[in-house]
Amino acid sequence: MKFFKMAKKALMVSFTAVLLAGMMAGCGDEKKETSTGSGQIQDIQKIKERGVLRVGVKNAAKGFGFQDPSSGEYTGMEIDLANKLAKQLGVKTEFTAVTAATRTGLLDSGDIDCVIATFTITPERKKSWDFTTPYYTDHVGVLVQKSSNIQTLADLKDKTVGVATGSTSAKALVEAMIKAKLIPADSYDAKNFDPSTWKTGVQFKQYNDHPAISAALSAGEVAAHCVDKSILAIYHTPDRTFIKEEFAPQDYGIVTRKGSDLSKVTEDFVQACLKDGTIKELEKKYGI
Ligand code: GLU
């Protein structure tokens, strides 16, 4: 008898819960549509309500994300991709210039919805953010003053190299120098590598952005500027040259918060752009 009473009570409690949940869901039917109940971050609804997709982009990577200093207008493959993605969502774009040092903070805080900014996909980064399939692959290069007579990786031995804080560049250079047998492999531990303390065979100075590294190169504060060639292009003035080697392929993906419902949308978007020739078209348009 007692058992039946308890069962009846439990049934009533769960019935009330279902009723309540139904009523609550009824308050926002549209939200119900996007809710998965599995802890997914609901970004798409917010973007649509706002009418704006906020995108972190580069402002000095010609052909990728470049802001005209006089008109303020942004151009480049990544800008076009952002505009196409926004159009698909039925909203406008708002661009925020980001650097390797600022992009993830702005994404985590919700100041921006996604990053399309020469952002390299790496296994470590994938643990913290969602990355799409790559839409472009670049390589890391090294820019030096012609007068320095540095021509190869070997010439970089024991030099100080300028890199951007939070970038893949220092690690890429050390790994390339190890491969070229310029640095002993046993001195390197990929997991604990820190550009600020590395002193074996080459050392680094970290800067917040690339204009600062370029100025440091002119001032002789660093012997070289190391980053993806797409980013170096704008700093390749007649008095400068690239060293012979380029290395460490850098796959660029669109980056979203881990578990965001925007992640699947961006992935499907990149897949479609690769398939229908949009990416090829944009590479041609921007000569990249
Ligand atoms: N592809 C490089 C990275 O993701 C870019 C570095 C930079 O933007 O300075 O680390």
Spatial separation of the C-alpha atoms in residues 224 and 213, rounded to whole Å:
9
Q: Which pLDDT tens digit goes with each residue over 187-223? A: 999 999 999 999 999 999 999 999 999 999 999 999 9
Q: Find how far residue 42's CA is from the centre of its chain.
A: 21
Contact in structure between 243 and 109 (CB atoms under 8 Å)? no
* Cα 119 to middle of ligand 1, angstroms: 6
Ligand 1 centroid – CA 19 distance (Å): 51
* CB-based burial label for 210 (10 Å; 0-12, 13-18, 19+): buried
> Is residue 58 over pLDDT 50?
yes
Pairing of the two strands 203-207 and 52-57:
unpaired
Distance of CA 161 to the CA centre of its chain: 22
Q: β-strands 114-115, 203-207: how paired?
A: unpaired
pLDDT range class, residue 31, cuts 50, 70, 90 = very low
pLDDT at 195: 98
Ligand 1 centre distance from Cα of residue 226 (Å): 10
Q: What percent of the chain has pLDDT over 70?
A: 86
User: Smallest Cα–Cα separation from 142: which of 118, 102, 170?
Assistant: 170
Q: Using one digit for the tens of pLDDT, what is the confidence trace for 250-267?
A: 999 999 999 999 999 999
**Ligand 1 site-directed mutation target among 57, 99, 119, 139, most atoms within 8 Å of CB:** 119
In the chain the domains, ranked by start, together with CATH numbers, are 43-135+253-286 (3.40.190.10), 138-250 (3.40.190.10)
As a whole number, mean pLDDT of residues 60-75 equals 97
Beta-strand relationship, 136-145 and 247-252: antiparallel
